[in-house]
Amino acid sequence: MGDLTRDQLVTEICDIVGKSVSGLGTSGTLLSTRVGTYYLNWSQRRIARYYSFHELDVITTTPVTAADTKTYTFSTLGLTRPKDIHSIILVDSANSRRLKRWSYKKFDKRIPDPTTYSTGRPSIYIRYGNQIELFRIPDAVYSMTIRYPQFPTPFTTGSQTSDFENKDELLITAGVMETYLALEEYTDAAVWYQRTLGMLKDAVMSDSNDVDWEPDGEPFNSDQNVDIGQPWISPAGSPEDPLYGYPD
């Protein structure tokens, strides 16, 4: 959790932009109200979109599947303010397994109609929008352990602190940038954008020493015959060759 409350963050942001907490914004409303209600929350989301910091990583385990049902919304899965999904483990007393994530293009190409297969224990999931599809289609109720990054909790009260840890100065910097943008002070906004970007990169560097990266390559398939012509004889090749029709 952050150290400064929302009201403390708002006071600091207003001070930096040269406004008192009772100063007015361009709309004629209190600038401090705009900062606390909008600009700070926009800053939080901007930071979360840039990188998934550890303090916003969550694990949840719930019995969510149903027999003969392949599609589950994020709310059905019990996810709160999800940004994405890191991994899903199917929890089964017989044999738990980590599900493989496929892109929907790959899945639709290889398995255009999952209902033509028998139901069973899922081994694959696809994210499409704010829902996932499982394959095979579950044949029973299974629990799933889901690791996922969250978007931060929006500020709603003056005593509330941020979900981010050790990033109050980053929130203030981003909040100043958003405030200058709202005030249409674009020269100052450009300066604070660069400061925000620099602080974001510093925060990511301190958080990314243990990135869980696992390459997943496709096997080489020697059965695919590609006609590339004989460019050492003629670059014209064959009609399938991109140089076909060009003079030697």
The span from the CA of 203 to the CA of 147, in Å, is 22
Of 131, 129, 134, 71, residue with least CA distance to 101: 134
Residue spans of alpha helices (H) in the chain: 6-16, 31-34, 40-50, 104-110, 168-182, 186-207
For residues 167-194, b (16+ Cβ closer than 10 Å) or e, as one string?
Answer: bbebbbbbbbbbbbbbbeeeebbeebbe
113, 119, 121, 126 alpha-carbon torsion, rounded to 10°: 20
Whether residue 113 sits in one domain with residue 74 = yes
Whether residue 80 sits in one domain with residue 122 = yes
Rounded to the nearest 10 degrees, the angle between the axes of helix 168-182 and helix 40-50 is 120
User: For each successive 10 residues of the chain (248 residues), what is the average pLDDT?
Assistant: 93 90 73 93 96 94 91 93 95 87 94 94 94 95 94 96 96 96 94 96 82 62 55 52 54
In this prediction the pTM is: 0.77
* Strand partners of residue 63: 143
The span from the CA of 224 to the CA of 131, in Å, is 34
Domain residues for 29? 6-53+164-205
Whether residue 110 sits in one domain with residue 47 = no
Q: How long, in residues, is the chain?
A: 248
Domain membership flag for residue 241:
no
Of 154, 153, 156, 161, residue with least CA distance to 9: 161
Q: Which residue reads 């020269």 in tokens?
A: 187
Q: Map residue 49 onto helix, strand or coil.
A: helix
Handedness of CA 111, 133, 52, 195 (dihedral sign): positive
Whether residue 62 sits in one domain with residue 141 = yes
Whether residue 95 sits in one domain with residue 36 = no
Residue 237 main-chain phi, psi, to 5 deg? 60, -130
Whether residue 200 sits in one domain with residue 78 = no
Domain membership flag for residue 101:
yes
The pLDDT tens digits for 27-52 are 777 889 999 999 999 999 999 999 99
Average pLDDT, the chain: 87
Whether residue 47 sits in one domain with residue 20 = yes
Domain membership flag for residue 1:
no
Q: Does a cis peptide bond (omega within 30 degrees of 0) precede residue 136? A: yes
The pLDDT tens digits for 163-177 are 999 999 999 999 999
